[in-house]
Amino acid sequence: MAEAGKVHRATTTAPVNIAVIKYWGKRDTNLNLPANSSLSVTLSQKSLRTLTTATCSESYTGPDSLILNGEEEEIQSSKRTQACLRNLRQLREEVEAKDGSAPKLSKMPLRLVSANNFPTAAGLASSAAGFAALVRAIANLYELPQTPQQLSLIARQGSGSACRSLMGGYVAWRSGTKEDGSDSLAEEVAPVAHWPEMRALILVVSADKKGVPSTAGMQTTVATSSLAPARFKDIVPARMAEIEKAIQDKDFETFARVTMQDSNSFHAICLDSWPPIQYLTDVSRAAMNAVETINRKAGKLIAAYTFDAGPNAVIYYLEPDSRAVAGVFKNHLPRVEGWDNEFGAAIRSNEMGGLDSKAVMTLKNGISRVICTAVGGGPESVETHLVDESGKPVEGT
């Protein structure tokens, strides 16, 4: 009878990813199928990660629940979360059907507790890591045999870009062509070990308020931008091929150019939407300007900016160029938070950046913190559960 009330637990981490070929626009809003393929770099969980514990028990009463960063989330009305849970339960039912001795976890309510190791104030979209951790944690709880690629089909329905956070290294999300979305999944292009020197410096902009939410923004773009169809149909497929080859060849110059061009192309179709959507600010532009100066000084592309649906700049570079790239920002922004982690401490300040004084002033006034990170691995199972053996959330989560 004690076994009957047992709390089953599994805990996993999941990483953030930042796309270099951007996902913006859906071909199917219900199934979360993208208008084009995308490609991202998974970032180290030393800097940014979500930790999620999935639990279930016969002793639980009430519906499934989720506590996110200490706050109860309303998940009953979230079609996306429900789609993930439904799919995972179906897969668990298959396990139970094959093995009569497997406990009937699929019938038990779920209690999920999730926490990020970075402040929400950082302004980073955490839904990718969040849904990846949720799917991975429940898949572990249910002991599902599916591969990360197969699970990516489920995570995609929670949040499109979440499918790319189920793997480490360099990850493509294939748009697929099937109507049911069964070929719209994530795929590892290269593991961390293939090109481990990749670094990312995130410049977090002191944001006054959120811009247009990405789901609504994407729909506006698809419905109204007359420039977007060319991007979906021809431009991104060509860039995917180019950047995948650049990753295979460890050709940073091509990687950098394509990354910057695709960020600009994405923001161009946003501006071309009606009403127009603008995420880049003068601070973003100062960061672009700084990257251009750094590259001009180097005589080649050693830094690449990219911007998601917000003003924060993510700057990719290779570890040997740390001082020439990140060191310039460290010199001008020595007192902002974030230089003190493992990656940041390794960056030597560089007084010879040559940035123009107006860009420096704009960055100083506009950047509230930095995040120093690097390419990293995929989700990891851990034993630091956020729910105790009796089913209660651990204090402080």
269 binds a copy of itself (CB under 8 A): yes
- Give residue for tokens 């961390």: 192
- C-beta of residue 197 within 8 angstroms of C-beta of residue 289: no
288 binds a copy of itself (CB under 8 A): yes
The order of strands in the sheet holding 170-173 is: 17-21, 38-42, 170-173, 186-190
Q: How far is the CB of 302 from a copy of itself (least distance, A)?
A: 15
* Tokens encoding 377: 């691995």
CA 128 to CA 23: how far, in whole Å? 12
Asked if residue 237 has a cis previous peptide bond (ω within 30° of 0), the answer is no
By beta-carbon proximity to a copy of itself, the closer residue of 281 and 312 is: 281
CA 139 to CA 310: how far, in whole Å? 32
- Looking from the CA of 49 toward its CB, the CA atoms found within 13 Å total 21
Q: Are strands 49-56 and 33-34 parallel, antiparallel or unpaired?
A: unpaired
By beta-carbon proximity to a copy of itself, the closer residue of 178 and 296 is: 296
Query: Of 314, 301, 233, 303, whose CA–CA distance to 41 is shortest?
Result: 314
Which of 41, 108, 235, 302 contacts a copy of itself by CB under 8 A? Answer: 235
Q: How far is the CB of 369 from a copy of itself (least distance, A)?
A: 21
Query: Which of these ranges, 165-173, 222-230, 316-324, 380-388, lies near a copy of itself under the rule CB under 8 A?
Result: 222-230
227 binds a copy of itself (CB under 8 A): yes
- C-beta of residue 314 within 8 angstroms of C-beta of residue 198: no
22 binds a copy of itself (CB under 8 A): no
Q: How far is the CB of 345 from a copy of itself (least distance, A)?
A: 33
Binders of a copy of itself among residues 368 to 387 (CB under 8 A) are: none
Binders of a copy of itself among residues 160 to 219 (CB under 8 A) are: 208
By beta-carbon proximity to a copy of itself, the closer residue of 97 and 268 is: 268
Query: Which of these ranges, 164-172, 256-264, 325-333, 371-379, lies near a copy of itself under the rule CB under 8 A?
Result: 256-264
299 binds a copy of itself (CB under 8 A): no
Query: Which of these ranges, 66-74, 125-133, 197-205, 266-274, lies near a copy of itself under the rule CB under 8 A?
Result: 266-274
Q: What is the DSSP letter of 298?
A: H
234 binds a copy of itself (CB under 8 A): yes
Query: Which of these ranges, 13-21, 39-47, 187-195, 270-278, lies near a copy of itself under the rule CB under 8 A?
Result: 270-278
367 binds a copy of itself (CB under 8 A): no
* Tokens encoding 144: 């599902």
Q: How far is the CB of 371 from a copy of itself (least distance, A)?
A: 24
- C-beta of residue 326 within 8 angstroms of C-beta of residue 347: yes
Residue 279 contacts by C-beta under 8 Å, 6 or more apart in sequence? 211, 212, 267, 270, 307, 308, 309, 310, 311
Look at the alpha carbons of 292, 297, 299, 301 in this order and tell me if their dihedral is positive or negative.
Answer: negative
Which of 6, 46, 285, 364 contacts a copy of itself by CB under 8 A? Answer: 285
257 binds a copy of itself (CB under 8 A): yes
CA 326 to CA 390: how far, in whole Å? 47
261 binds a copy of itself (CB under 8 A): yes
Query: Which of these ranges, 16-24, 108-116, 176-184, 258-266, lies near a copy of itself under the rule CB under 8 A?
Result: 258-266
Which of 358, 365, 382, 389 contacts a copy of itself by CB under 8 A? Answer: 358
- Give residue for tokens 């009305």: 77
- C-beta of residue 23 within 8 angstroms of C-beta of residue 156: no
Q: Are strands 198-205 and 110-116 parallel, antiparallel or unpaired?
A: unpaired
Q: How far is the CB of 272 from a copy of itself (least distance, A)?
A: 4
Distance, first Cα to last Cα, the chain: 30
Query: Which of these ranges, 5-13, 56-64, 210-218, 274-282, lies near a copy of itself under the rule CB under 8 A?
Result: 274-282
Query: Which of these ranges, 68-76, 120-128, 259-267, 389-397, lies near a copy of itself under the rule CB under 8 A?
Result: 259-267
365 binds a copy of itself (CB under 8 A): no
CA 75 to CA 393: how far, in whole Å? 17
Site residues (CB under 8 A) for a copy of itself? 208, 226-227, 229-231, 234-235, 257, 260-261, 264-265, 267-269, 271-272, 274-276, 278, 281-282, 285, 288, 292, 358
